[in-house]
Amino acid sequence: MDFVKKSGGNFVILSFDLLNSSQIEYILSQVGKESFVLVGAENLKVGTRVNFTLYTKLTLNNKVVPILQSGTEISQSRMEKMKSVGDLHIRKGEIDLFSKYINEHLDISEEGLSRRCRVQLQSVSILHVNLVLLLLDQGEQGSFEQGRELLKKIYELCDQLLRDLQLVSRPWEIFDQADPEVFGQVDRSVVIACLAAATSLRTGVGVPREILLAGLFCDLGLLQLSPKCLGHLNSRLERAKLDAEDLLMYKNHPVISLRILLERKIQMSERLKEIILCTHEQADRQGFPNAIAPEKIPVESTIILFHEVVDLEWRVSHGQNKTSFPEVWQDVYKREHESPEAFTLSFLERISWENK
């Protein structure tokens, strides 16, 4: 494997994983994505200088062309021109520079803080993908130094995001704009984790930082499932179609997620390991992997599970009638409250948005 890396290979995947898992599909899905992220002119200020290049998409051929070069000062005329072209984009590799610009020219209004949170969400998403790719790479990367640096940045961004989410009264609007057309649950981990952490912040239930960090990595093991099996996870009805072998693999994915992290010597507290392992345990003991008693399930795990259910139903409804996160959240809450199975009534009452 070391030879493959030295010969110019970017990624090493074992033959068994190539044939039996969804790893190669995930890798190709990320490579095939655009190298640009959407930003808005409202994030920019006249009289400031940017150290990143802004691009726009031509309507006729979808070609991306620069509209403002790095090092340029934003004049009033340039700002008007950028607003006139519609959507603006930056390269993913310059998201850190854009985030730094936002921090240096901070808008403390409600909308300004929401925009800042969106940029942080984009940054965490990009770093999360890069870290997942490193975790899956079977090349001889003994020190995993690059991965540890990425993880450190993710931790710092998550702390910053949590601080800002506390100041935003409608954080759900941030997640409403997240792309539902992604590679299943692994790509959605960032949104699910952030949404769960936002509820924790709002209600005081659980530890938001532990929820956010556990939520980012609890579904890594899904990439060990076959593409066919992974395709059945996009709705509750489809999940019922899993055959016995695929169902067993699916129920074991929290254990696999933890194993992947431990094999790479990712530093985690015992509490964080426990939360990751229990993110699919249920109050009715129909969860997995161990079907433990409800009083032994960390509340952080239960909050992540609840918001995974919300996100799954939002993705289904989003393609039909553009239902918002708050609407789906309340629908799931009402259904579970009327007929509690996966969640106890006491848990549901604690996370209720009413009077919060």
pLDDT tens for 274-313 read 999 999 999 999 999 999 999 999 999 999 999 999 988 8
Rounded to two decimals, the pTM is 0.87
The residue whose two tokens read 């190539």 is 18
Paired with 36 in beta bridges are 91
Number of H helices and E strands in the chain, helices first, is 18, 4
Domain chopping of the chain, boundaries: 2-32+109-350, 34-92
The residue whose two tokens read 């033959």 is 15
Residue 264 is predicted with a pLDDT of: 84
Lowest mean pLDDT segment, chosen from 24-38, 59-73, 138-152: 138-152
More confident residue, 81 or 22: 81
Class of domain 2-32+109-350: mainly alpha
The residue whose two tokens read 């770093």 is 127
Using a pLDDT cut of 70, give the percent of the chain over it. Answer: 88
Which contiguous run of DSSP H or E holds residue 66?
strand 64-68
Q: Helix, strand or coil for residue 56?
A: strand
> Rounded to an integer, what distance in angstroms lies between the CA atom of residue 325 and that of residue 180?
12
Q: Where are the beta strands (DSSP E) in 274-352?
A: none
Q: Count CB atoms within 10 A of the CB of residue 36.
A: 17
> Rounded to an integer, what distance in angstroms lies between the CA atom of residue 12 and that of residue 227?
19
> Rounded to an integer, what distance in angstroms lies between the CA atom of residue 127 and that of residue 2?
25
- In the chain, what is the straight-line distance between the N-terminal and C-terminal CA atoms, in Å? 54
Q: What is the mean pLDDT of the chain?
A: 85
- Report, as an integer, the average pLDDT of 240-260: 90
- Report, as an integer, the average pLDDT of 202-219: 95
Dig out the tokens for 164 from the structure.
Answer: 């800002």
- Dihedral over alpha carbons 335, 336, 341, 343 (to 10 degrees): 170
Could you report the per-residue pLDDT of 65-121, keeping only the tens digit for each?
Answer: 999 999 999 999 999 999 998 889 999 889 989 999 998 998 888 888 988 898 999
Q: Helix, strand or coil for residue 39?
A: strand
The residue whose two tokens read 């450190």 is 152
Within 13 Å of residue 110, how many CA atoms lie on the same side as its CB?
A: 5
Residue 142 is predicted with a pLDDT of: 47
Could you report the per-residue pLDDT of 338-354, keeping only the tens digit for each?
Answer: 999 999 999 999 999 76
Residue 284 is predicted with a pLDDT of: 95
